[in-house]
Structure 1
Amino acid sequence: MYFFREMVSRFNMDKKNEKIGFKGRVCTQGLWDESIPDIQFDEFGISSYAKTFQRMLDYYPRGEKGLQEWLSFVDKMKADGKGKKYDCIVGVSGGTDSSYLLHITKKYGLRVLAVYLDNGWGSDICVKNIKKLVDPLEIDFESYVIDYQEVIDVLKAYLRAEFPWADGPTDHAIKSILYKTAARENLKYIINGHDFRSEGFQPNEWTYTDAKQIRYIANKFCKRSLKSFPTMSIWKFGYYSFLKKIKLVRPFFYLPYTKKEAKDLLKATYGWEDYQGHHYENVFTKFIISYWLVEKFGIDKRKITYSGQVMTGEFSREEAFSIISEKPFTLDSIERDITFVIKKLNMKRDEFDTLMAIPGKSINDYPSYLPLITRFQKVVFPLIKRLLPDKPLMFFQLEDREKTGKGFVSKS
């Protein structure tokens, strides 16, 4: 009788969840649901993602211990920067995280070179926001411009490949130019504004991108051989990390940080302007997050973002549910975005509509370095721990899946 009542209760809850944009069971600790790859629940309704997230919180404590960890990085950066023009590189986008990061690095007396990837998709707000920070803080600024046609072909290829995270090449290009610039300046530190507490950690199936994948998709779907588009092979990354000893440091893993407080400070101090959405400072990124992923793949990355903020107390679970119950776009605004994107990509509307109507692909459908990483993770993980000051978040996921016999399958 109890089992029957439990099944009826769960069925009713699942139907209720579907009405507000959720699939099946929802984690009792956050908003992770059954739309998320390889999610598992225990008898208390706590998901495997919540447990991995808690492990990250324990691994990267804030408070006094976190502050001391950050201060030790500051000392190392200043020591390594002696005799050089800069202590570190900071990638900037005009968004909340990277803007506040400039404020933080200046506060701790670091000499920074700010680097911006200009791929032709940045909004006017993002460019203005960068200027509002670098000018008063007297930070040197460098813009890396990619050949526009290459950008168009790569992004168009990812749409034609029906790949979920079609903006992955942009993320990869940013990382590539930061390492390339650090090597050019003979610097050992790149400062990154990612904060898993306020952004969560995305499933690798939703976000993984690498140079092998980019080159394959660009060639297959747009016959494009890349020349100016920045990529970094796994071997080049090893060169930068092992031989050049370049390290990626994430201050927000250690220092107190919330987006709301950061936005308030940026607005009051620098006249910074909000762009009303996570990574909406880039037009293509906004389109992919708010529409392409949601409507074609049923992927709502806000579930990940708000789950992290619920577990850290920035939002109540009820507040987060209320936000997620509304689509991340309005019909009027998304129609303008679609028209803008396909025009800029020189894509016909019929082709785009066809792509939206057919089932999408996944990371399993295209070659990448991921099979190599997973196959040799027992060798790679200890090496990475020696090379990097921060443990990559994808490794937490790989480790936890290995315990349950789960993993990733992808073409090599």
Structure 2
Amino acid sequence: MKICKLGIWDETIPGIKFDENGISNYAKIQLKLMEDFPRREQGKKQWEKIVEQVKKKGRNKKYDCVAGISGGTDSSYMLYLLKQYGLRPLAVNLDNGWNSEIAVANIEKVTRSLEIDLETYVIDYEEIKELFRCYMIACLPWIDSPSDMAIQAILYQIAHKEGVNDIFIGNDFRSEGKQPTEWTYSDYKQLKFIHKKYGRIPLKTYPTMSLIKFFYYGFFRNIKMIPIYNYLDYTKKEAQKFLIERFGWQYYGEHHHENLFTKFAIGYWQYKKFGIDKRKITYSSQVLSGEISRDEALNRVAKLPYNEEEIKKDLDYILNKLNFSHDEFQQIWNAPNKTFREYPSYYHYFEKFYRYLWPVLSHVLPVKPKIFYEYDERKKQGS
């Protein structure tokens, strides 16, 4: 199997192409992102300008920004950085009924120690359970998309409620990379269709954000979501060491394993049912960023992303929590895998109006979304 010379992106990744030097288009996506968002002195200067503007807009308000927190490494360390720069964040956590005890404890330790107020939005569990079931019945690879969309909606809603303009998130493309659209794409139109087709109960507490709401928050309210690690020097290993020493924070395993359903979605559902190993993207980006070696990345993905002894126990717990019998789950497992293109979504409009979208969205979003970088590079390669 052909593997990228600069990372471990390989031929299992949709739309991958290699040039004459064995360098993949995904490596080029990563390099372009790193070029557009430099760190060190240049990145720090950009960040300090952002901080100055946030403080100015937030003067005389209880909070000057909102920060999404999960209890994981990136968001926990982000809270520390925000306080170091003199910002007054309101930490926001989404409780979808699947947060691990470690994640909950981490959030409490960090927010309490830093004296940061915490607002936790609790979704009615029957509703989020319904959506998880729907996405599994739909046989889509990214079954945790209802959580992603809910988190985004809640952050915007709370920022609007508090009268602040800036939302900080701990996403870090240097340690996470750009996952292929085929593996993770979802949007509100897709969710509505899947819920209508497979759902049984109405959604009353589940937070939604339509395109109209999105443009209202972004354009008329000037609320922006800013990934802090686009600008500041950051390595996950060093951050984890600091968090453990400073707050008694605990590590929870692989990326996103602080949430039990996300852990199942990435480490078992995608890996076993779809043959998707998201670690190839994550570790490749860390190789290119110099955080780990290429050999270390190859050694890591040679191992299973889950513990074979634990998975049986975990699966029993998950199925019981979702009200699936083993027979029902087996039927879903054996059903043909689907792609996001087999369900209605806004992606058709993205492809059709692509060249006009960023000039419009640049008035709503502070940074160009990674999907544009992916689309640009893959179009160059004819993939």
TM-score band by shorter chain is: over 0.9
* Structure 2 CA distance for aligned equivalents of residues 397 and 45 of structure 1: 18
Give secondary structure in 1 for the equivalent of 2:119.
strand
Give secondary structure in 1 for the equivalent of 2:118.
strand
* Structure 1 CA distance for aligned equivalents of residues 325 and 366 of structure 2: 46
Q: Does the 8 Å contact 1:215/1:225 carry over to 2? A: no
The aligned counterpart of 1:231 is 208
Residue 244 (structure 1) aligned with residue 221 (structure 2): yes
Q: Does the 8 Å contact 2:28/2:377 carry over to 1? A: no
The aligned counterpart of 1:145 is 122
Q: Does the 8 Å contact 1:374/1:398 carry over to 2? A: no
The aligned counterpart of 1:127 is 104
The aligned counterpart of 1:323 is 300
The aligned counterpart of 2:231 is 254
How far did residue 204 of structure 1 move? 1.2
The aligned counterpart of 1:284 is 261
Q: Which has more radius of gyration?
A: 1
How far did residue 405 of structure 1 move? 4.7
The aligned counterpart of 2:149 is 172
Q: How many residues align?
A: 383
Q: Does the 8 Å contact 1:219/1:225 carry over to 2? A: no
Give secondary structure in 2 for the equivalent of 1:289.
helix
* Structure 2 CA distance for aligned equivalents of residues 314 and 385 of structure 1: 31
CA-to-aligned-CA distance 1:175-200 (integer Å, 9 cap, x gap): 10000111111111000100000111
The aligned counterpart of 1:368 is 345
How far did residue 226 of structure 1 move? 2.0
Greater shift after overlay, 173-182 or 363-372?
363-372
* Structure 1 CA distance for aligned equivalents of residues 168 and 75 of structure 2: 9
The aligned counterpart of 1:401 is 378
How far did residue 359 of structure 1 move? 2.7
The aligned counterpart of 1:336 is 313
Q: What is the TM-score of this pair, normalised by structure 1? A: 0.91
Q: Residue 347 of structure 1 aligns to which amino acid in structure 2?
A: F
* Structure 2 CA distance for aligned equivalents of residues 79 and 321 of structure 1: 47
How far did residue 403 of structure 1 move? 3.2
* Structure 1 CA distance for aligned equivalents of residues 210 and 248 of structure 2: 39
> Equivalences for 1:384-395 in 2 at 5 Å?
384-395=361-372
Give secondary structure in 1 for the equivalent of 2:21.
coil
How far did residue 402 of structure 1 move? 3.3
Give secondary structure in 2 for the equivalent of 1:277.
coil
* Structure 1 CA distance for aligned equivalents of residues 136 and 14 of structure 2: 21
CA-to-aligned-CA distance 1:281-321 (integer Å, 9 cap, x gap): 10000001100000000000000000000111111111110
Residue 182 (structure 1) aligned with residue 159 (structure 2): yes
How far did residue 89 of structure 1 move? 0.3
How far did residue 371 of structure 1 move? 1.1
Q: Does the 8 Å contact 2:219/2:363 carry over to 1? A: no
Q: Does the 8 Å contact 1:94/1:129 carry over to 2? A: yes
* Structure 2 CA distance for aligned equivalents of residues 403 and 321 of structure 1: 28
Give secondary structure in 2 for the equivalent of 1:43.
coil
CA-to-aligned-CA distance 1:360-383 (integer Å, 9 cap, x gap): 111111111111122112221112
Q: Residue 129 of structure 1 aligns to which amino acid in structure 2?
A: N
The aligned counterpart of 1:13 is none
Residue 313 (structure 1) aligned with residue 290 (structure 2): yes
Aligned-residue CA RMSD (Å)? 1.1
The aligned counterpart of 1:93 is 70
How far did residue 354 of structure 1 move? 2.1
Give secondary structure in 2 for the equivalent of 1:368.
coil
User: In structure 2, which of residues 49, 54, 58 is the aligned counterpart of residue 77 of structure 1?
Assistant: 54
The aligned counterpart of 1:207 is 184
* Structure 1 CA distance for aligned equivalents of residues 153 and 98 of structure 2: 18
Q: Unaligned stretches of 5+ in structure 1?
A: 1-23, 407-412
Higher relative contact order (CA 8 A, sep 6+): 2
How far did residue 225 of structure 1 move? 3.1
How far did residue 404 of structure 1 move? 4.1
* Structure 2 CA distance for aligned equivalents of residues 86 and 356 of structure 1: 46
Give secondary structure in 1 for the equivalent of 2:139.
coil
Q: Residue 106 of structure 2 aligns to which amino acid in structure 1?
A: N
Q: Residue 343 of structure 1 aligns to which amino acid in structure 2?
A: N
* Structure 1 CA distance for aligned equivalents of residues 307 and 228 of structure 2: 35
Q: Does the 8 Å contact 1:87/1:110 carry over to 2? A: yes
Q: Does the 8 Å contact 1:210/1:233 carry over to 2? A: no
Q: What is the TM-score of this pair, normalised by structure 2? A: 0.98
* Structure 2 CA distance for aligned equivalents of residues 35 and 231 of structure 1: 33
The aligned counterpart of 1:11 is none
Residue 55 (structure 1) aligned with residue 32 (structure 2): yes
Q: Does the 8 Å contact 1:106/1:137 carry over to 2? A: yes
Give secondary structure in 2 for the equivalent of 1:149.
helix
* Structure 2 CA distance for aligned equivalents of residues 76 and 405 of structure 1: 41
How far did residue 140 of structure 1 move? 0.7
Q: Does the 8 Å contact 2:25/2:378 carry over to 1? A: no
User: In structure 1, which of residues 219, 222, 236 is the aligned counterpart of residue 196 of structure 2?
Assistant: 219
The aligned counterpart of 1:16 is none
Q: Does the 8 Å contact 2:25/2:381 carry over to 1? A: no
User: In structure 2, which of residues 16, 20, 23 is the aligned counterpart of residue 39 of structure 1?
Assistant: 16
* Structure 2 CA distance for aligned equivalents of residues 218 and 386 of structure 1: 31
Q: Does the 8 Å contact 1:296/1:359 carry over to 2? A: no
* Structure 2 CA distance for aligned equivalents of residues 25 and 225 of structure 1: 47
Q: Residue 297 of structure 1 aligns to which amino acid in structure 2?
A: F
* Structure 1 CA distance for aligned equivalents of residues 142 and 11 of structure 2: 19
* Percent of paired sites with the same residue: 48
Q: Unaligned stretches of 5+ in structure 2?
A: none
Give secondary structure in 2 for the equivalent of 1:163.
coil
Q: Does the 8 Å contact 1:32/1:49 carry over to 2? A: yes
